[in-house]
Amino acid sequence: MRPLLALLLLLAVAPARADLNTDGLPAGAAAVMGFDFANFRATKFGGAIESLASLKAKDLEVSRKLRERVGIDTDHDIRDFVVAVYPGADGKVAEKSASGVVLIRGKFLPARIDRFGQENGVPSKAVGRHQAWKAAPFIEKLTGEQPKDSANDAYLVAHSENLVLLAGAEFLERALAAADRNERAPQLPAAIATKFAAARQGWFYLYADATKMEKAKEEAGIQDLALVLGENATDLQLAAAAGFVSPEKASVMRKQIKGLQAFAMIGLSNDDGKSPEEKENLGLLSELVEKIRIGGEGRQTTLDLEFPADRAAKAIGKVVEKARKSPAAPAAK
């Protein structure tokens, strides 16, 4: 799905939201990730990043194809998207047994999307009142790029004027049923929901239940993780919370993070032989690391950061400018 998700990262606008929108998601997700384009563009940080970004000709071409072929204006019609991963029959998320659902919200023309699939001979099947198109050939016909193998068993459905849905074959009917009912996934744990709500203009959300991850490291003792990125009136905000199996495990993690923070501060303080620009960059990173607050009690560990949005955007701008000036790497033979 990489080409389609890359398209979603082209900028979009819409009324701002205040939390992770789980409407239309089936219950039981082991991990949920959301990105709100509207909120991102409304923030100082997002606006600055938008002004710095220069879309590659390849991306502009893909955007043109979406507009001309299926009527999607990537500057205005994509509002947000949510990705959810569900465990397999064994209750664990594994590469071969997990199911995924992607909800893309915005403004769409279902009849035009379906007509494109039909005119281009994309394999499909009827699921109730919906037409489900094989996602890989649909995306390839639309963008000219071949998706990764992970999209081979996925279907794409133009569900309504406000929703496009992608889901694996085995999970498709359940995903469509949830979307038809506008089902809301169960509320997140209270501590996680509080973190999400605290970011008045949150634009990136992540929640994962580590107990359902097949490859989770049991020795770490982590049970769940939540993270939100957003912005208040002045600062870029990051808030993360992790739950552990015991207070002892949480305490060990807090100590480890504080140790890494102290170690980083020592490294960043060494500016011998650095140019004035390099010293400025080290100072900026040092200030950022210093502002990280590690906390929590009992079985929870938290990490919070508030950093001036304009300074964060400036730092990103330097990275972008440096990348632009760097000579292109020679092509591999």
5-30 b/e (C-beta count within 10 Å ≥ 16 → b): bebbbbbbbbebbebbbbebbbeebb
- Which of 196, 202, 220 has the alpha carbon at shortest distance from 210? 220
Residue-level pLDDT at 7: 34
What is the block-wise mean pLDDT of the chain (333 residues), using blocks of 10 residues?
36 40 86 88 79 57 87 86 88 77 94 96 96 94 76 88 93 93 68 57 86 75 88 87 93 95 90 85 87 92 90 74 58 44
In DSSP notation, 134-165 reads EHHHHHHHHHS-PPPGGGTTEEEEEEETTEEE
Mean per-residue pLDDT over the chain, rounded:
81
Specify whether the CB–CB gap between 248 and 234 falls below 8 A.
no
Would you kindly state where each structural domain of the chain is located, as residue ranges?
2-181, 190-203+210-325
Residue-level pLDDT at 82: 92
Residue-level pLDDT at 310: 85
In the chain, the amino acid numbered 6 is A
The phi, psi pair for 249, rounded to 5°, reads -65, -40
Question: What is each CA distance from 30 to 82, 167, 206, 212, 279, in whole angstroms?
Answer: 13, 15, 11, 6, 43
Question: What is each CA distance from 2 to 78, 135, 169, 218, 223, in whole angstroms?
Answer: 16, 11, 18, 31, 29
Q: pLDDT digit string (tens) for 133-162?
A: 999 999 999 988 777 655 668 999 999 999
| Paired tokens of 291 | 């502002």
Residue-level pLDDT at 58: 53
Residues in the chain: 333
